[in-house]
Chains A and B, each alone.
Chain A
Amino acid sequence: MSDSVAVGATHAVPAHHEELGFWRTYVFSTDHKMIGRQFLFLGFFMLVLGGLMAMMIRWELAWPETAVPGLKWLPEPYAYDGIIPPQTYNMLFTIHATLMIFFVVMPIMVGCFGNFLIPLMIGARDMAFPTLNMLSFWVGLLAGLVMLAGFFVPGGHAAAGWTAYAPLSARAAYTGVYWGQNLWIISLLFLGVSSLMGSINYITTIVNMRATGMTYFRMPLIIWSLFITAILLLLALPVLTAALAMLLFDRALGTSFFLPEGGGQPLLWQHLFWFFGHPEVYVLVLPAMGATSDILSTFSRKPVFGYHAMAFSMIAIAFLSWIVWGHHMFVSGMNPYLGTAFMMSTMVIAIPSAIKTFNWLGTLWGGSIRFTSPMLFALGFVSNFLIGGLSGIFMASTPVDIFIHDTYYIVAHFHYVVAGIIFALFASVYYWFPKMFGRMMNEPLAKVHFALTYIFFNATFFPMHILGIGGHMRRIYNPTQYDFLHPLQPINVFITVSALLLGLSQITFVTNFIWSLFGGKKAERNPWKANTLEWVASSPPPHGNFDAIPVVYRGPYEYSSPEVEEDYLPQNRLLITRSSAPRTH
């Protein structure tokens, strides 16, 4: 028995607790489950905003300089009778990306599921630092409010791209944006603090508070992924924070870190930004991979294929993510020899990604597959990640990247990877909704949601590869200004129509979510017949989670085990027939 596990067991607080009032229960809650739900709603709200911005961007690209329907109310200079000017267009794609990355995927995949699942799945009553946890949400919300405030200051919001390349971002004169860019920086500084508090909490909780018998290699892969994500965040965010502070100093205090006229280096920003930015991509995608592994196993009624390989490949991805940042900079003027080194490391990181994909296939092989809505979305994630992973090999090859860099090929690639996370996100919401809210979601409507989302997602993002091959630059306001892009314009129209339909399809989800919240069928403890510990608690679990802290006897994926008659064997079930003392290794 390791010390850490013993400490976890003694952390168990008595199940009874005093009744908390409305404010302490729903608003300033220190309960990890409520904080998880708060992150979920924050993420959903931002997802709607970010999605609407995407629709405006797409409208502009398909029918440039025409009035966007329903935007007549937007005041000048944001729009002129509904027509978006270039400056607003630049703001839209800047804030679309910023919201989707920092205020949708991070709050939901890391903030919501990290908070909700970690204590439940390792058998703890709460996070190690509940108050810090609450603070993490409220600082995150503050960051969100500061970010949105950027739209209401003179000069408008940041318009230098989510990558905020200096010197464009470093001097107000270059974009005409003053406080908008400053607020963007300040918001991300706050968000960095929020994520740091969260990641310290996750790491401490996972290291110290696992239930008796829950060794590291009995943890579900989503917990592994969140653990690795938290470590990545802890190490990557300080670099972003430092870079953002330097950028703010350049803008407001007259320093010249990134301004050549004062002796600064524009490329320094790119190095610092991507040193954070590439691990950040894996911060976003690792929890999606973890959730997918768990859901594929549950609904194949079969153990995850190569559990250790899955855990180690995530560790390998995390480690390698620190030495690939230069692949964003092949044509930046960086030394070409350095480009070669970054190409090599980038090719290497494709290997653990390939292992994960093949092991997911291996998990399906020989299974007894149930096509539930979480399963369909998890399969959708695998299929999209496959495309996103393979398209990444093109830009890893330095000569090919010369051509496709900064084109729609890149836009297609990172939407398949990062926007593809939405499939794992929906899979997770459909899977854990019963535990989170105590009710089941409507299954037929969820399947309709999947079919529409899968079709229109691919119809939206796949043709972007073709635009990229045709040389279509990203971040341009009006493609019809270029002669060589004229033949591609029908594809832009097709993409926009698909994107609008993709957006409309989400009504099925919103309807299902809200309706199920109040009118869904009451969920039992373990509706999916799954093995992991969260299904031991009641749905939804009370403050303190478990009636008694479960003891763990085996790994999380003992589906269809010959030891029992049912096709699942929960981690905490004591089998009398065989030697079943809790083992540690």
Chain B
Amino acid sequence: MMSWLPENVSTFGGEIDSLFYLIYYITGAVFILVTVLMILFLVLYRHREGRRATYSHGNTALEITWTVIPAVILLVLSFMSVSSWGRIKAHAPPADFQVQVTAKQFNWEIVYPGPDGKFGTADDFQIDNDLHVPVNKVVHVHLKSKDVIHSFFLPNLRLKQDAVPGRDILVWFEVTKPGKYELPCAELCGFGHSGMRGWLYVDTPEEHEKWVKENWPQQ
């Protein structure tokens, strides 16, 4: 079932996937255990003439066991999740490349700082739905919205962040493999929600430099 996961190309995606797999194996084992026991009980203890059900109100030791074991498993999962979550969300590594993404009904408005490296200056370069970033570089995205809530979703990067009007939310990623990846909106944003998507182009340094030269205003 997990083979349906899209290919991961981000630095933190592997960590998310391994947690995903771990929970999959644990819950899969519990599912099989409970289902097998249930079927077994249904067969073994089906009604037969002359056999009376066991008169029992429970078993404290058993109940403590099946309270403590899930508690321990869930605690371990929590701590593993906390450390991954912290690495992904709490602190962003310093940026090699910055871009502003402003969501609006129903496009991603992408602003590059231009040659001066600053946003809000005359040499900014703006384009809808095409996000070009260099491979193996830490990219900072300043995520905003002009109207309603949208969600910046890069399935191949295991990255999702809502864009909230009135807020400027910092998102970061580093992609390890050049390519073209889909950037859909994942939060219902109106009648044009379906089909609101852009593309993330992850370029080699040479390609990226070429793209910058061809598109950004020159100094």
A400 within 8 A of B: yes
Could you tell me the distance in whole angstroms from the C-beta of A358 to the nearest C-beta in chain B?
4
Q: Is the CB–CB distance between A393 and B182 below 8 Å?
A: no
CB within 8 Å for A168 and B190 given contacts A478-B195, A562-B55 = yes
Contact residues, A465-485 vs B (CB, 8 A) = 465-466, 469-471, 473, 475-478, 481-484
Bound Cα distance A159, B24 (Å): 34
Kindly identify which residue among B20, B34, B182 contacts A483, using a CB–CB cutoff of 8 Å: B182
A526 within 8 A of B: no
Could you tell me the distance in whole angstroms from the C-beta of B93 to the nearest C-beta in chain A?
15
Partner-binding segment picked from A40-48, A363-371, A434-442? A363-371
Q: Is the CB–CB distance between A386 and B34 below 8 Å?
A: yes
Partner-binding segment picked from B71-79, B110-118, B119-127, B133-141? B71-79
Q: Is the CB–CB distance between A365 and B45 below 8 Å?
A: yes
Partner-binding segment picked from B95-103, B149-157, B204-212? B149-157
Kindly identify which residue among B23, B55, B159, B192 contacts A560, using a CB–CB cutoff of 8 Å: B55
CB within 8 Å for A397 and B81 given contacts A339-B89, A366-B45, A482-B197 = yes
**B162 to chain A: which residues have CB within 8 Å?**
331-333
**A359 to chain B: which residues have CB within 8 Å?**
58, 63
Q: Is the CB–CB distance between B191 and A406 below 8 Å?
A: no
From DSSP, what is the main secondary structure of chain B's interface residues? mixed
A260 within 8 A of B: yes
Q: Is the CB–CB distance between B2 and A303 below 8 Å?
A: no
CB within 8 Å for A366 and B54 given contacts A331-B160, A347-B74 = yes
**B197 to chain A: which residues have CB within 8 Å?**
481-482
**A261 to chain B: which residues have CB within 8 Å?**
165-166
Contact residues, A145-183 vs B (CB, 8 A) = 159-161, 165, 167-168, 174-176
Kindly identify which residue among A161, A331, A332, A562 contacts B188, using a CB–CB cutoff of 8 Å: A161
Partner-binding segment picked from A25-33, A188-196, A305-313? A305-313
Bound Cα distance A386, B37 (Å): 13
- For A257-272 the 0/1 string (1 means CB < 8 A from B) is 0001100111100000
- For A307-350 the 0/1 string (1 means CB < 8 A from B) is 10100000000000000000000011100110110011001101
CB within 8 Å for A402 and B88 given contacts A331-B162, A364-B41 = yes
Kindly identify which residue among B59, B81, B153, B187 contacts A362, using a CB–CB cutoff of 8 Å: B59
Bound Cα distance A307, B30 (Å): 23
Could you tell me the distance in whole angstroms from the C-beta of B167 to the nearest C-beta in chain A?
6
By beta carbon, the residue of chain A nearest B158 is A403
Bound Cα distance A84, B156 (Å): 31
Q: Is the CB–CB distance between B187 and A406 below 8 Å?
A: yes
A122 within 8 A of B: no
**A344 to chain B: which residues have CB within 8 Å?**
78
Q: Is the CB–CB distance between A393 and B35 below 8 Å?
A: no
A523 within 8 A of B: no
Q: Is the CB–CB distance between A336 and B54 below 8 Å?
A: no
Bound Cα distance A264, B35 (Å): 49
Would you give 27 A-B contacts (Cβ < 8 Å), ordered by A?
A90-B191, A160-B188, A165-B149, A168-B149, A261-B165, A302-B53, A303-B58, A336-B86, A339-B85, A350-B70, A355-B63, A361-B41, A364-B42, A368-B46, A368-B53, A369-B41, A390-B30, A394-B23, A399-B16, A402-B160, A403-B16, A406-B160, A473-B153, A473-B184, A482-B182, A482-B197, A560-B52
Residues of A at under 8 Å CB distance from B?
85-87, 89-90, 159-161, 165, 167-168, 174-176, 260-261, 264-267, 300-307, 309, 331-333, 336-337, 339-340, 343-344, 347-348, 350-351, 354-355, 357-359, 361-362, 364-371, 379, 382-383, 386-387, 390-391, 393-394, 397-400, 402-403, 405-407, 465-466, 469-471, 473, 475-478, 481-484, 488, 557, 559-562, 567
Rank and list the top 4 A-B pairs by shortest CB-CB distance, nearest first.
A260-B166, A366-B54, A471-B155, A477-B194
15 new A-B pairs (CB below 8 Å) besides A361-B34, A368-B52? Answer: A86-B192, A86-B193, A261-B165, A266-B166, A302-B54, A309-B63, A331-B161, A343-B78, A355-B63, A359-B63, A400-B20, A400-B81, A403-B20, A473-B184, A488-B4
